[in-house]
Amino acid sequence: MDSNATPLDRLRRPRRGRVLLAGALGVLGAITALTVSVPADAAESTLGAAAAQSGRYFGTAISAGKLGDSQYTTIAAREFNMVTAENEMKIDATEPNQNQFNFTNGDRVYNWAVQNGKRVRGHTLAWHQQQPGWMQSLSGSALRQAMINHINGVMAHYKGKIYAWDVVNEAFDDGNGGRRDSNLQRTGNDWIEVAFRTARAADPAAKLCYNDYNIDNWTWAKTQGVYNMVKDFKARGVPIDCVGLQSHFNSGSPYNSNYRTTISSFAALGVDVQITELDIQGASPTTYANVVNDCLAVPRCNGITVWGVRDQDSWRSGDTPLLFSGGNKKPAYDAVLNALNAAGPNTSPSPTPPVSPSPTPPVSPSPTPPVSPSPGTSPEPGGCSATISTVNSWPGGFQSEVTVKAGNSSVNGWTVSWTWPGGQTISSLWNGTQSGSGSNMVVRNAPYNGSIAAGATTTFGFTANGSAATPSLTCTRA
């Protein structure tokens, strides 16, 4: 979520039962949550420090454009120990023109965070919104490859520096719990899996999260749809480490007492849970305390991020949903701090990652360097050659890239063929058209990449089932 997003999408719950006000919900455990007495010598005085006592974080969304506001930065630097860039690491900000990356504002947020001793969450790599115009104009395999290139380019720039990435954002529909119809979804139902596998190869140290709104209530179809996807991914070895619950609670999508069931059910699949964009209409102290206590009750709930510092910074400022009004702490702040201080010592099942590395000056944009091929390469009789390299591999599958190069004259159509050595099968292909059967593979050019100038190259890629292999390739001109 952000100030640029359209609020109606997030504030609406389609065709559910009666609407309840968020501020009136969450009665269970409220009295305990608000009246727990904490010994003075054990209590921390800031949200981040209080959360750290149980091995968790308490973070906020930061906007680069507000880093010149001293009230804003004073509160943010004092209170939070995790930062998410509000808009500055999204697709339109980081790749405004295809293959031309711009990290100026993303680095401003990142550098401010680490200079103030905070870790950073990355948000977001693949999303149907806030795509630049060039990406919106693509479809099919060209869009699929652009998504892969974007993930590689952004994660390469921040490799080893980001605690967790929201790899895919808001890919499920609000109505029936199925996939959202989007340009990315229309590239093939495996696009989310490809995004996660690409992200794992790009930065193996980062936690990889799926992030969505309206998946807080355990009974909703959308929650169950995401749950089933994560369950499937874990069963098949698709690399997913965490689920992000945005938790934008309001009268159309209110807090429900089964929220803890949702958190614990996702955690039981073997993933962490992170509350990634919390804001609550009216900032009910009771509801804020209940959310915190629900997270604290589940060891794999790593932490909480509120979506903004002060009410005036919120994308829904009219709802006064945050913990600060101007420079003043609201009653909800005290409720959250008391709940965090009441938690026992470190209950996190996994060690807290180290603080992100010290900042470095922004790096001039450059395309993602190619992976060094470990190839089967064809000669150039017939006017073209083809080289295959393994980009990524995992138990039971792998991702490869093939480079097709024209010889000393131009090519106006090409075909690459090979024989699999051990029963491998392609599961997804982009920038080419697959034919052949069994172990004998044939890939022809797509309609848009058949013409190659003399000495120039084009590429196609695929994911496949089986053990990674680099067979000998044959390239022929059409």
- Known catalytic residues are 170, 277
DSSP code string of 107-118: HHHHHHHHHTT-
Instruction: Using alpha carbons, list the distances in angstroms from residue 240 to 66, 304, 331, 427.
Output: 33, 19, 36, 19
If one counts every other C-beta atom within 10 angstroms of the C-beta of residue 379, the result is: 11
Collect all residues with Cβ–Cβ distance below 8 Å to 325 and sequence separation of at least 6.
310, 311, 312
If one counts every other C-beta atom within 10 angstroms of the C-beta of residue 368, the result is: 18
Q: What is the dihedral of CA 254, 296, 81, 255, to 10 degrees?
A: 0
Structure tokens that stand for 333 in this block: 């702040």
The residue type at 321: P
User: Is 223:180 a contact under the CB 8 Å cutoff?
Assistant: no
Which H/E stretch holds residue 155?
A: helix 140-157
Q: Which of 208-239 are b and which e, b meaning 16 or more Cβ less than 10 Å from the residue's Cβ?
A: bbbbbbbbbbbebbbbebbbebbbebeeeebb
User: Is 229:185 a contact under the CB 8 Å cutoff?
Assistant: no
